[in-house]
A and B are shown apart, each in its own frame.
Chain A
Amino acid sequence: MMHIKQEAEERHVLTITVDNEAGILAKIAGLFTARGYNIDSLTVADITENHAVSRITIVTHGPPSQIDQIHAQLERLVPVHKVVDLTEVGPHVARELALIKVAGLGEKRVEALRLADIFRAKAVDTTTESFIFELTGAPDKIDTFVQLMRDLGLVEVGRTGIVAMIRGPHEA
């Protein structure tokens, strides 16, 4: 009998600067599926005035040797300018935005609003029976908030996935 073995895994945040050309996202996402790497979250938007360059943030997990391969495989794609493994480089800020819709009346509605205040979530849509909260923060803060909302009439959640940046005055 044969069983599939598992290896110890690490979670890493990578930022990738790429030429903003057709198919680049498919290329990067496809690289992950083709080689069996994991994507926990992926965000992308162009970051230069002329829209020529995009920054992609990918959160991945895998054994250390695989993380190193991901880095190398990304780097060898022609449209990729730079890959930074923020988890390797050092302390960084990682933030995510979420929209959280909660519906309810009476006590539950009041409690939802109270918790939103504690988490500094902003109500960006309000009806007499619902809110949409906007919350930014580290992913686990959002996890916690969403968890609390489950008992208070959670309807749906939308999350952007994280963007991240190295701390301090310099570019990574």
Chain B
Amino acid sequence: MGHVRARSRPSAGALAVLGLAVIFFVLPLAATVQFSLQHGSQAITLAPYQEIVSDPLFWGSLQFSVTMALLTIVLGMLVVVPAAYWVRLRLPQAHGVVEFICLLPFVVPGVVLAIGLARAYGSGNAGPLSNFQVLLVGAYTVLSLPFLFRAVDSGLRAIDVRTLTEAALSLGAGWPAVLWRVVLPNIRAGLLAGAFLVFAIVLGEYTIASLLGFSTLGVYTELEGAAHAHAAAALVVLSFALVWSCIGLMQIVSGGGTRMLEGGGAR
């Protein structure tokens, strides 16, 4: 009962914190929206949005960033999922080391990473990595390691990896079937959470992209902001909406399975 009452009548302290949080998040956003629609005291206009939407550079950078994000997600998952799975299954003693390695990108500033990468691989004799697009995806994959590993690993922790794997093997499943039919479906929520984080990070990334000379959405936003303040505000609102629709989309996609389970539970 106490729990229910606490819920229906939150304490004054909780309300204050919530209010501060709302102000902290909503005020800048509201100001940005307002700034993107109004020049000073003039009438509201959608002109900045038209400017953005009609700029082919915007569409080009958006397409490029989305492509990079998707490639990063695929490459990151290909690296992280088997590694995290194998560590849980066969090398639990290596868990700490692997987690530490995956956290390293947090300690290396983006500028250092970008310049280091360009110097190491930019000379033209580093095979496919001499191609800066490949290099960019590689850099983004490294950047997303901490998020991906955390998300995948917590998904794996929630299931009995060893027993499920052995059950599948005893039923005649080979390793690809174990991963595809048993491991992946059972860590789907973790995979989606990780994928979303990577998507949002790559879409907003500026430092590495600009140092390697690419026009990503992040770089375009910076340039636009320098040149046209109101259009830049409109761009921020647009990418904000884009990111949140991605969250919504993933909720729907991942919620499908969960809801099916819960619906069954009521039977």
User: Are A and B subunits of one complex?
Assistant: no
Binding site for B on A (CB under 8 A): none
